[in-house]
Amino acid sequence: MLNCRRGFSLLLAIVLLVAAKSQAATPEIIAHRGASYDAPENTLAAIRLAWEQKADATEFDVWLSKDGQIVLMHDDSTKRTAGVDRKVVDQTLAELRKLDVGSWKDVRYAGERIATLAEALAAIPAGKRAFIEVKCGPEIVPELKRVIDGARLKPEQTAVISFHAAVIADTKKALPKLAAYWLCDPKPDKEPVWTADGLLAKAKSVQSDGLDLSVQPIVTAEFIARMKGEGLPVYVWTVDKVDVAKAMVAAGVVGITTNRPAWLREQLAK
């Protein structure tokens, strides 16, 4: 009987160890602009659909409106998704609210309105995360802090990402408990900063908590291991191809941003 118990305990330990390693190897699946393959990007509909599609987190883009409100939009203009060729920064929140940003995707989403950051954060359930991509400059940070401080989310549920290093630096000063990741499209043949040494130095200089990179040849297992050793986890975007996603998982990324969260998770599980 004693040997059976010991054998069972050993078997249970092995099962738990394998499960833990499997879980650790599974990256965070982040819905790009919400579940934007199926729903209009950067809308509350896309964010809610991301949860139905089993995303771990959602990413969305933000700008400041003319009257200083933070709204969800990728482009600097509302032309592509709302048919009105005006800059976001030249429109008030009231003007932006009149626009239909759903019909271009599908008639089912007709009447979908531009969301505010506060509304988007209110749509993040317990256990899920939001990646806020700041498209404008550091002038947004004071309002960003106000809105995030007023949200019901725990600090670990919100991350700020931006291509603008100054936004990352100012975010870390204003919201030190929040993760802030520097976004990059690293092409070493174009700029010296895109080398591993350059990326590391720049990230450290702005107190970035990690790197969020496009999938480029520089993003290898060796590169990721080096960044991890320096305390900089690596996320990648925007991945909708299974072979690329599997390669990134094998290389050791901690998160993958995709337009198709449910589909990609299913493919990675095969």
Instruction: Name the CATH topology of 28-268.
Output: TIM Barrel (3.20.20)
pLDDT, position 266: 97
- Pairwise CA distance, residues 10 & 6, whole Å: 6
Structure-block tokens of residue 174: 């204003």
pLDDT, position 191: 78
Q: Which residue has the higher pLDDT, 73 or 10?
A: 73
Q: How confident is the model at residue 192 (pLDDT cuts 50, 70, 90)?
A: confident
pLDDT average, residue stretch 137-149: 98
Query: Are the beta carbons of 258 and 27 closer than 8 angstroms?
Result: no
State yes or no: pLDDT of 5 exceeds 70: no
Lowest mean pLDDT among 2-16, 189-203, 216-230, 234-248: 2-16
DSSP, collapsed to helix, strand or coil, labels residue 111 as: coil
Q: How confident is the prediction for the chain on average, in pLDDT?
A: 92
Q: Please list, in sequence order, all residues whose beta carbon lies within 8 angstroms of the beta carbon of residue 104, skipping any fewer than 6 positions away.
A: 40, 80, 81, 82, 83
Residue at token pair 């592509």: 80
State yes or no: pLDDT of 91 exceeds 70: yes
Comparing C-alpha atoms, which of 164, 81, 178, 175 is closest to residue 72? 81
Backbone phi, psi, residue 40, to 5° = -65, 125
On the CB side of 106, how many CA atoms lie within 13 Å of its CA? Answer: 10
pLDDT average, residue stretch 16-23: 39
CA torsion 247→251→254→260, rounded to 10°?
A: -10
Q: How confident is the model at residue 152 (pLDDT cuts 50, 70, 90)?
A: very high
pLDDT average, residue stretch 234-238: 98
pLDDT, position 175: 98
In order of 92, 249, 253, 255, the CA distances from 24 in angstroms are 44, 11, 11, 11
On the CB side of 97, how many CA atoms lie within 13 Å of its CA? Answer: 8
pLDDT, position 20: 37
pLDDT average, residue stretch 114-131: 98
Q: Which residue has the higher pLDDT, 264 or 4?
A: 264
- Residue 258's DSSP bridge partners are 31
DSSP, collapsed to helix, strand or coil, labels residue 106 as: coil
Whether this prediction's pTM lies above 0.85 is answered by yes
pLDDT average, residue stretch 227-252: 98
- Residue 180's DSSP bridge partners are 160
